[in-house]
A and B are shown apart, each in its own frame.
Chain A
């Protein structure tokens, strides 16, 4: 009998699953790229976020509930902004960290394990905040 997980546990489990060829093929088709996404925000929608938030070099972006770093890391790579990626499941953050090591983002990305209601940052620290289907 299938166990009934909470939404949070389901997402946390999804982050713990290793990538597979099948998963990457589906993600590429649905989201538009392999970016560690398992939700509904496509690459085209991430581009909209970049424009609406007026991101660029020197701006500081906070991505709340970023999972594997999507779309925060993409936005940093695309616009040149700095990003802080936060979420609760450690597996997702580990994956996000590994992604920055494979790209040129290491100096512009940082990570914090924190929930949206208890964000461990000083007031007036960021130029923009993004989250996708967290609330």
Chain B
């Protein structure tokens, strides 16, 4: 939470008045159980991504306004499934390239991520905000 805020504040400082920030972010929706939260955190995303913190509140704390959120969780699921399925189709080549253990671990994580998105434990959204 503190790391996110410091990056957003740094970004605000670099923007000219009227400048905009836009970012896609993956996050854990509020209200999920501690067990589910820990399960999702184990998927291997950077810890800054896997947070239940309210993105809008962070943006406001960093000094942004005119905050707009667009949920893209449906597209996130399609893309996550795409990487999983695509990598499975090229498994032989990718195992040689990445090493069998790393490939298998990656695919296990990808399967778990697809399941977590489908179960509503992970969301993705586009946030746009203005620096006045």
Contacts and interface: CB of A to CB of B under 8 A. Distances in A.
A119 interface: yes
B47 A1 contact: no
A92 to B, nearest CB: 14
A26 interface: yes
Contacts of A131: 23
B13 interface: yes
Contacts of B94: 20, 22-23
Contacts, number: 145
Contact of A128 (B20, B25, B45, B126): B20
A20 B97 contact: yes
A11 B21 CA distance: 23
The DSSP consensus for interface residues of chain B is helix
11 contacts: A1-B101, A2-B101, A22-B97, A40-B75, A53-B22, A116-B11, A117-B10, A119-B14, A122-B14, A125-B16, A128-B21
B6 interface: yes
A130 B3 contact: no
A62 B14 contact: yes
Interface string A113-127: 000111101111111
Interface of A: 1-3, 5-8, 10-11, 17-18, 20-23, 25-26, 29-31, 40-42, 45, 48-49, 52-54, 62, 64, 116-119, 121-135
Nearest to A114: B10
Given A40-B79, A135-B49, A130 B22 contact: yes
Nearest to B21: A129
Interface string B1-35: 00110111011011111011111111000000000
